[in-house]
Structure formats: structure tokens, C-alpha cells
Structure 1
Amino acid sequence: MSIVVSVADLNCLNFVNSYEFETSVRWVVNSTLNPSPCRPDSPGNLTEDGTLPQVPASGCESESNLSMWIYVLLGNVLRGIGETPVQPLGISYIDDFATEENAALYVGCVQTISVVGPVFGYLLGSLCAKIYVDIGFVKMETITITPSDSRWVGAWWLGYLIAGVITLLSAIPFWFLPRSLPVPGPEVPEKCTPEQTSFIKGSPLLKHKYSADEHTSFIEMAKDFVPTLRTLLAHPVYLVYLCVTIIQLNSLIGMVTYKPKYIEQHFRQSASKANFLMGVINIPAVALGMFSGGLLMKRLKLNIMGAAKFAFGTSLIGYILSLFFFAMSCENAKVAGVTLSYDKISYDKHLLFTDCNSKCVCSSSDWDPVCGENGVTYVSPCLAGCTTSAGSGKNTVFSNCSCVGVAGNFTASTGHCPQKDDCDRMFPYFLALSVITSFIISLGGTPGYMLLIRCIKPQLKSLALGFHALATRTLAGIPAPIYFGAIIDTTCLKWGQKRCGGIGACRIYNTTAYRLYLHMYYSVFLTSCLRYVFFSSFSVTPWKLYVRQYKSCL
């Protein structure tokens, strides 16, 4: 129910205000002539540093003062409340009623299914990204941008709506699951259920026997919680594994969050295609790796130490393969005044204004890219020095562009210039390496998770899995996208601007810096993770591990 409420909360945001993007192209009914992008000004309008005074946006209205982030936060909190119990309680439920040799395979299947979900999520996101955010509320003929434009916003709210309905329907079968299943192996007395801590009933290994029907007050459970948690965190293997997963998930969540944008910026793919590739290539490799890890653990009959060493080996190989990402570089997009001078010379200094557009009153904050006949992208038609335009919408053509000037052709069209270089040939190799790396790293996921289950006493299992889920979400799921995003923002070359001032979204990145920063921090986290995995694999002796025993109620 909390997931359904969160979906309704998040979808309310889309109907508060319509999305407006910055553009100098106007859609005019029954007209093929647009106003001139370049508004002539008196000579000498350039300042000493080669810039023009900021031109305030016309028709500026005060933006809504609603704190939209509160609705997003509330919706995600409710969604988290609804989905959090599924993983720890579900894994515990399966492990309680499975034999030792089959538990790894079953857990691997569950982990695989949990990864298959994002496959459909990315595919749904790819579909929604192709649909304009205000579809049904605006005339699409008036939209002058395409899904490949950085200003394009897809129908994100539609994905929440569809996913919410599917989640509600998938929750119905859970009501028909039995409270307990027959326990394989030696029979245990009926008064004992498979699992119980002193605050979760039912363990055959508790020092104190509880009947399954005995009532325990909330105060009694609260009193036992802190000592039990202290005992759990004092376990060396559990603590090391907790540190491993927190560090590893920091790197993986940061990478997965910004990998579609990396594909979009570095390899010049649309957001829709980037999400589609993540859904049909990367995520299935992770799912296959988790399932294969559980299957190998069953076939090879790995014990706890074997599982730990297997996880270390896969992490080491995945780390080595990830270093090859540093060599897959692409050149920055050719944008005059940002990555190139107006003479098409690469340089670091950003200078949007030059002699060819000195007679135009342009704003340096605008982002309305046009492609000149010379193959160079210009920040806006005004900065390209275009004085006339014809056509409407996406078919607008700008002419008399003084900064273009190639063989007498001074025209420009809307959008970025397509670039054909080695980057196109490198993209398939990047995808292949991503698939192999994702598969190998995830291959050790299920053995590592079984290490978590097997290294603790059965009566602590539910608490261990629940605290593990809480710690990874709090210390990895929340901060990783924040600081990865802050690091990536330092590579931005051109920021957009809101209608009434203030920094908007980044329009173009330094792809070289983006690549180095993203993979550098990813590798740093994997290096730290390997140190902890090595410790858990070779420094903890088997006799320190607690082995499960389902023999009798003590």
C-alpha cells in the first residue's frame, strides 16, 4: 500500500507546472519566417573580456515556490517502507525451509529475479524517455527539440504509474503463501519453528524455548534488541562482509546511476537508447552472473571458506578488467566557444563572443545548439551570427550566419552536429567489456551472500539480513549518487540557466574528465573492497565461523 501511495505522490508533481525549455525558435502558425536570432546592436558592445552583458529572459515570471523535492523525498520514503521487508524476510523464509545444498541455488534464483526487475525498468524508462514529459497537454508540433537534445525531458511520471500498478498486482500472491513449510531433514518438535531471535520467535537454537503461540510484548523485544545487535556487530566475519558490501555497492550504485548519462555524453547516444542498452545488455549479464554463482556453488559444493575465496577471485578479475575502461576515450563534441575556438582550434578557455558575432546582442546563458554547415556546433543561432531564419519547429533553417562561413554557405540547422570518429567503432567494444565485467563481478554475489547467511547463528539471521539491508541502503544507496553526482558536475563545461536566473542542468560535459573521474572513483572503491574480501577469505579461520545446525531445540 505504501508503494501505491508513493506512486500517487510522485505523479502529482507532473501536473503542478508544465515544462518549458529554452529556445530561440518560435512556432508560428501559417508562417515560414521567424524573427531574426541576431538582434543588431551598436558597435562596441563587447566588454574587455570579450563578453556581453547578460540579457534578461523575456516574459520572465516568478517560478513556483513549491518545494518539489519534498514530494520526491516523501514518495521515495514510502516506496522504501513498502519494499524493504521483501529482501531480508524473503531470503530468511527461503533459507529456513531449504536444504544446505539447495539453499545457495534458491537464493541465487531470488537474487536473479530481483535483478531481472531493473531490466524491465530500464526498458520502460527507455520507452518513457522517448515520450515528451507533457504529452497530452501540449501540441507536439510546437516542440522544437528531439530526444537526443540535452533539454529533452521524457515522461518520467508514466514509468512510476505503470510500475505502481504492476507492483500492486504482484503483491497479491504473497497473501497466499503459508506461514511455514515442512523442514527438510530430521524432524523437530512441533513447539519449535525454524527461526527465532529473542524478539523474533521460532529458532531451534535459542537458549530459551518459546512456543510458537507464546505472546512476547514489544517492551521485551525492545530490551533484547540492543544486546542482540551488539552481539551481531561483534562478529568479525559479518562486520567485514558488511564493510565489503557497503564499499562495493557505493561503487556499483554510483556507476549504475550515471552510466546511462556517461553513454549519452561520451558516446553521443540518446537518453532513450542509453537506458535501453542498460536494460538489455548490462542488467541481464548481472542476473545471469548471480544465477550462475548460485549454480556453481551447488555443483562445486563450496563451503563457507570456498565461497569467500570464490567471491574474492571474481572481484579481483572484475577489477582488472575494469581498468581497461580508462583506455576507451572519445574526443569532446565540437562546440564553438566551449571546446573549440571559432577558428576550429581546440582550446581550454571558454570564449563565446568573438568578432563574427560582435554585432549581435546575445546572452551567454542561452543553450539552443545549432549545427553549422562547417560541422561545428554553436551554442545558439545568435552566437553563430545568424541574422535570418525560415521554417518552423524542428525544420527551422538559419541563414546568413557570419560565424559559419564555409565555401559561401552560411546556413545552420537546429540541433547538434553528428560526429563520426573512432568513438563509433569503440562503442561496441565498450558494451562488450561492460557485459563481461558485470557478469564476472556478479558471479561472486550469491556465494558472498551465502557467506553472510552461514557465518552467523541462525537465531540472528533475520536481524543480520535486515541490518545489512538497512546499512547498505543508508551508507551506499543514499550517499553514492550524491557524491558521484557532485564529482561529475565538476566536469561540466556549459551550464543551463533557469528562466529567471539560477543554475539549471548541465548541457555539455568534458568527456575526458567525465571518463577519468567516473572510472577512477569506481576503481578506488573496488580496490578498498578487495582488501576486505581478501581479509574475509584468508584471514578468518573456519573454526571461527558458526555452522548451522537443525538437530533439536536446545
Structure 2
Amino acid sequence: MTDRTPLPGKKYKFSINIFVLLMVLVIAVQGTYLGYVVGMLTTLEKRFGFSSEKSGWLLSLYDIGHTMAILLIGYIGSHYHLPRITGIGVILSSLSMFMLALPVLFYGTADYTHEQLLQKKEAYAMEMNCDVNGRREISSQGEDCWREHKEHTNAFIILAFGQLFAGIFAAPFNTIAYVYIDSNVKQKRESPFLLGLLTSMYAFGPALGFLLSSILNGVYTTLGDAPDHIGTHDEHWIGAWWMGFLLCGTAYLLLAIPFFFFPRTYKHPDSFHLMLEHSRPEVSPEDRLTFKENIELFLREFPMVLKKLLTNKVYITMVIAWMFGSYLIGGYQTYLPKFIETQYGRSASMADIYSGIISVGAIAVSTALGGWILSRYNIAPRSSIICLLMSWVVILVSYIIGMNLGCSQPKVEGLSYVDYADRWHFYHHQEREQECLAYCNCESILKFDGVTVNGQNFYSPCHAGCTDYDVFSNTWSNCQCVYGNAVEKGLTHPECDIFFAYLAVMMIGLFLGNLFFMVTMMIVLRSVFDEEKVIALSLASFITNLFGFIPAPVIYGFFIDLCCILWNRQCPNERGNCVLYDNDKFTKMFHGVNSFFQIFAIIFAAICYWLSKSVKLPEEMPMVEFPESREREYRDEDEE
């Protein structure tokens, strides 16, 4: 017996339940970080002059890094001490969090001094007013473009590598840690509940991240007083974006320590895992493979392992169903804050809060509850697939209902729909046809800066005929198109009382629809033998990331951009970001794309059920057909 083999009745400092608790906390921190990055994107864009395209890449790099590492970690990790590998991953994840905060050391917390802010506001007034004297300096916009393309390139590189490393180092969290729990619970029926508890944290964590971003966006980046006359709604306000990364990094570091005190396995010496160890020839320390040799072995053996998994029909069909089901998180949940903000006229912070409510109230709670139901009633694998199918049909129905619960977009003066061209038209370069704008020279205004008064919206202060701007109160007055009155910044949305009906429909639909999402992982683990679980789960995560989470933001972003009717052109010859959507088209496109992927998830889950009826899962194999090395483990479990 080797020194790694636990003796019968041996007591351990930490039980498997403590491991589960630690992983719940680790995944909660991971989810908090993922939600926090999304909540802080606008602040990072303002602080470092990132374009929306660069921000999108920052989000994708996490999934790219995770996908790059997950197969290698899954294969090599199965040959080593799983809790310690998880602990190393947690420590390295903390370092990636600290790396994400590094730009604050190199470039400082704030971008402008008080005097510089006043100068920028004076330049803004010259750029956006009704320029009756023709003194507008169009070159100021060119300077902003030059700054956007050049300033803080190094900061973007640091953040990009931080995101990439965060994805790589998180690879053990939802692969080998899951397998360690599934392989070491006393009874298999406990596994769905425990794994469901962990998975629910991926929905609960982002809600904490949205909350943390809302709090820290209200704290000025220097952690002191902001410059005079700069409020949280001012475009020059920068929240304490770096604090969240430091908090997540510190939490990771504290949670990492206990992982190094867990045993390699909790199984009795007669269990399969230890019999497998004993069946292997004793290897002296000098004959053990180095890390490089393990990599070479991986490259030689992996094609055969891959072929075996890909020809496992039950396994691969459930993985594909899981992949399409992941678009709920990768697509719907990612763009839900934008949908709520643009569709129902909620502020960005409130949109984040409502999205967090759906994440916690629907997805997180239902996933954990569904895992408990699977464990409590010991639902068989095939019956659980039927439960999954019914719950996914509920999600599809909620998407279809959601298509009809939208609001109208704000009306902007000069913006009209052209029926014969099936497009929206803005009177850009034809402003002089409006009497109040005849001498304002508004055709040189590229940047959107919406203003409103009495429900009437304008593209910019110039398009409202405004001539006077107060740099201290941040208000425009003497606006000729509204009879000389003052205007407020922003847009007035039409009244729409349907938002809470939409919130209720989606919360109920997603709650019922996610009750049995854990079935996807349960079938993946039950359709393979024990020694294949780590690589099987790693391959499933790899496929889900590569064809689900990574392309989802790009696909949804593409279709959402098709709904845009007014673009904010920051620079000449560039489209910029969208400032106004065709809400009816947005509602139908957003939920239609979700419905499309949900239908395919249902189809492949149904195929998996149909195929599972004609094959025997490993746990259903009679002892006569079962490999001898596994026979004793399953007999022991039956006796329990």
C-alpha cells in the first residue's frame, strides 16, 4: 500500500463537504469577477479610451483562455492530486486579479485634474453649441479620435493578458473540482445536488458582481473627494474600478490555502480509484514522467481518447444540447442589461440590478433547487432527461411571450422611418432646412449628446438651437428650437408600464426552465466510466466554450446591431456605438435568436433521450459485462 492510500477509518482534517463549501465560495468569487467586469466596462472605456470593439475583446479573452487550457488541465490533472491542482488554480487566479488592477499603478487613478476638466468642458461647449458665428473647431473631435487610438495601449495589453490568464487559471474550477466531488461523495444520489449548488454560483456570483460594480461606480477612483462640480452622472466621473479586482484577488488568495490539506481521495481502500492505483506497476521516483513527458504522452494518447468520447452517442448529443443551452448565459444574460436599459428606459445601474435579480431569483435558485430535487427523489438518468426537456420547453415559451412585451423607442427630432427603403433616416446635413437651425452649423456635429425638454428629444444641444452652456451646472440654455428655454441632458422615453410584466414572465420562465439544467452535467458524467470523467467533462466544457460562450456575444452583438437606427459617430468615417434602437425589432430579434438556439438545445436533448434507451450506461451494466476493476466498487455502493 502506498503512502497516498488512506487507511480504513482514517480521519481527515477536512471532509468532502468542506471541499464543496470552499468551491462554492471560489465559484462565487469567480462569478463576482465575471459580473464585475461587465458592470465596469463603461468605466474602463471612459478611463482608458477603449472602443466598444476593444471592450468586447476583453470579455472574449477570458473564454478564449479558459478554452485553451481546459482540455490540457483535464487530461494532465487526472494524473495528479486534484485538490492541490485546484488550489494552485485559485492562487494563480488571484494573481490574474492583481494583474487586472496593475494599470492603476502605471497610469494613476484619475485622468484629469480640476483645471483640465474645466478646459475640457469649455471645449465641449464650443463643440456642441449652436455656432451662429462659425467658430466651431472641428479639429477637437480629431484630437479625441487620436487619443482614443493611441492613449493607454499598454493598459489595454495588461488588461487583455489579465483576462486571458484569468480564463486559463480557472480551468480546474468546473472540471477536476467537479469530478473530485462526484467521485468522493458517499452516495451517487448526493452528487446532483452538490454539483447543482456549485453551478448555481455561476448565476449568483455575477449578481454580486453587478452589485459590487454599482457600489464602486459610486466611489470616485481616488477614494477621496471628486473635483468640484463633478457628480456620478457626469461623463468625467470615474469610479473606483480597480478596487473590485483587488477584493476578488484577496478573496481568492485566502480561499486557496485549505485546498492543500485535502486527501487525494476519500474512497475506501477497496474502491475502484485505489484498486486502479494498485493495478498499475509500482513506479520509482526516478522513473516517473516529467511534466514535459506528460505533455508528450497527452499529445500521443489524446486522439484515441477523443475518438472514444466523440463516438459515445449519449455523451456527445448531451454535450451539444448543453452547448446550445449555454447561449442562455453567454447571450441572453450578457445582453439583458442592455435590453432592459434601451427597451424600458432604465438607467445602467438599475438595469444591472434587475439583471442581477433575474440571475439570483431565477437561474441561481432554480439550479440549486433542481439539484436537490434530483438527489432527494433519486431520479434516474433517462427520467431526468425528460425533466430537462420539459423545463427547456418552458424557457422557449417564455422567450416567445417576451417577444410581445416591448416598448416604443424615444422619438428624436429629425429621425423618421422611410417605408419604401425599410430604414430609418436622420436629417444629417439637412439641418439648415429647419428654421431654428438655419445658422447653427449642426451638420459638423458627429458625436451624439442627446438633450430633452417636455418630452421632446434632440440629437445634440446644437440640434436644439442651444447657445449658452454653464460649465459648473452642466446645463444648456437659450435653445431656439424650444422657444429659448433650457434643456436637460439625456432622452425622454415614452411611458411604458409593461416592464414588470416582462420581469415576472422571465423570472418564472427561467426559474422553471433552469430547474433541471444540472441534468446536462449529470448525463455527461454518467455516460462515461469513472477514469474518463475528468477528460469527458473537460471536453464538454471545451466544446461548450468554443461553440457556445465565445461566439455567443459576437453573434448576439451582430443581430442587435441590425436593430440600430441611430449611431454615435465619434470619428469621421467610423460608425461608432449605437445610441438608439428600433425597440420593436430589438425585442423580436433578441428573443428570436434565443428561441432559435433553445429549439436546437431541445432537439439534441430529445435525441439524447432516444439514444439512451438503446444503450446501457456504465452504472447500469450487469457485473458480467462490467470490467473486473469496477465490479467491486459498484457492489459496495449497492450494499450501502
Output aligned runs, 1:51-450, within 5 Å: 55-57=138-140, 60=143, 62-63=146-147, 64=150, 66=153, 69-98=156-185, 99-131=187-219, 134-135=221-222, 139-143=226-230, 146=233, 154-183=239-268, 188=270, 193=273, 202=277, 209=280, 217=289, 218=294, 219-338=296-415, 348-352=424-428, 353=431, 354-355=433-434, 356-362=436-442, 363-372=444-453, 374-389=454-469, 391-399=470-478, 401-405=479-483, 410-419=484-493, 421=495, 423=496, 425-450=497-522
Q: Distance in 2 between matches of 1:337 and 1:303?
A: 62
Superposition TM-score, scaled by structure 2 size: 0.71
Q: Distance in 2 between matches of 1:365 and 1:258?
A: 26
Q: Distance in 1 between matches of 2:97 and 2:426?
A: 43
- Relative to total residues, which structure has the larger helix share, 1 or 2? 2
Aligned to 2:60: none
Contact 1:144 1:394 in 2 (8 A): no
Aligned to 1:458: 530
Count of residues in Structure 1 that have an aligned counterpart in Structure 2: 508
Q: Distance in 2 between matches of 1:527 and 1:59?
A: 47
Contact 2:195 2:371 in 1 (8 A): yes
CA distance 1:364–1:397, shift in 2 (3 Å): closer
CA distance 1:317–1:517, shift in 2 (3 Å): same
SS in 2 for 1:295: helix
Q: Distance in 1 between matches of 2:488 and 2:108?
A: 26
**Amino acid in structure 2 at the alignment position of 1:101:** R
Aligned to 1:48: none
SS in 1 for 2:463: coil
Q: Distance in 1 between matches of 2:275 and 2:346?
A: 50
Out of 101, 104, 109, the position equivalent to 1:11 is 101
Aligned to 2:31: none
CA distance 1:340–1:320, shift in 2 (3 Å): closer
Out of 495, 498, 511, the position equivalent to 2:583 is 511
Q: CA deviation at 1:85?
A: 0.7
Contact 1:456 1:547 in 2 (8 A): no
CA distance 1:426–1:525, shift in 2 (3 Å): same
Q: CA deviation at 1:231?
A: 0.7
Q: Distance in 1 between matches of 2:591 and 2:319?
A: 23
Q: Deviations over 1:443-496 (max 9, x none)?
A: 111122211111111121111011112221222121111221122222223333
**Amino acid in structure 2 at the alignment position of 1:162:** L
CA distance 1:156–1:492, shift in 2 (3 Å): farther
CA distance 1:482–1:129, shift in 2 (3 Å): farther
Aligned to 2:610: 538
| Highest RCO, 1 vs 2 (Cα 8 Å, sep ≥ 6) | 1
SS in 2 for 1:84: coil
SS in 2 for 1:86: coil
SS in 1 for 2:130: coil
SS in 1 for 2:615: helix
Contact 1:57 1:499 in 2 (8 A): no
Q: Deviations over 1:92-124 (max 9, x none)?
A: 111111212222222222222343322211211
Q: Distance in 1 between matches of 2:297 and 2:417?
A: 69
Q: CA deviation at 1:221?
A: 4.8
Contact 1:60 1:500 in 2 (8 A): no
Q: Distance in 2 between matches of 1:518 and 1:337?
A: 27
Q: What RMSD over aligned residues (CA atoms) do the two structures have, in Å? A: 3.5
Q: Distance in 1 between matches of 2:575 and 2:590?
A: 23
CA distance 1:509–1:195, shift in 2 (3 Å): farther
Q: Deviations over 1:189-214 (max 9, x none)?
A: 6xx63597xxxxx4x9xxx6456988
Q: Deviations over 1:412-456 (max 9, x none)?
A: 3231244451x2x21111111121122122111112221111111
CA distance 1:378–1:114, shift in 2 (3 Å): closer
Contact 1:193 1:212 in 2 (8 A): no
Q: Distance in 2 between matches of 1:87 and 1:459?
A: 17
Contact 2:410 2:492 in 1 (8 A): no
SS in 1 for 2:577: strand
Structure 2 unaligned segments of length 5 or more: list them: 1-90, 621-625, 635-640
**Amino acid in structure 2 at the alignment position of 1:404:** V
CA distance 1:13–1:514, shift in 2 (3 Å): farther
Q: Distance in 1 between matches of 2:566 and 2:155?
A: 25
SS in 1 for 2:102: helix
Q: Deviations over 1:378-429 (max 9, x none)?
A: 121111112334x434452412x22223xxxx313231244451x2x21111
SS in 2 for 1:102: helix
CA distance 1:350–1:85, shift in 2 (3 Å): same
CA distance 1:137–1:279, shift in 2 (3 Å): same
Q: Distance in 1 between matches of 2:109 and 2:426?
A: 33
**Amino acid in structure 2 at the alignment position of 1:370:** V
Q: Distance in 2 between matches of 1:508 and 1:19?
A: 30
SS in 2 for 1:383: helix
Q: CA deviation at 1:91?
A: 1.1
CA distance 1:329–1:284, shift in 2 (3 Å): closer
CA distance 1:370–1:127, shift in 2 (3 Å): same
Contact 1:129 1:271 in 2 (8 A): no
Q: Distance in 2 between matches of 1:228 and 1:543?
A: 20
Q: Distance in 2 between matches of 1:176 and 1:339?
A: 67
Superposition TM-score, scaled by structure 1 size: 0.82
Structure 1 unaligned segments of length 5 or more: list them: 43-52, 197-201, 342-346
Q: CA deviation at 1:526?
A: 0.5
Q: Distance in 2 between matches of 1:138 and 1:291?
A: 42
Contact 2:96 2:166 in 1 (8 A): yes
Contact 1:130 1:272 in 2 (8 A): no
**Amino acid in structure 2 at the alignment position of 1:81:** I
Further displaced range: 535-544 or 98-107: 535-544
Q: CA deviation at 1:161?
A: 2.7
**Amino acid in structure 2 at the alignment position of 1:380:** S
> Stretches of 4+ moved more than 6 A in 1?
17-21, 212-215
Contact 1:394 1:414 in 2 (8 A): no
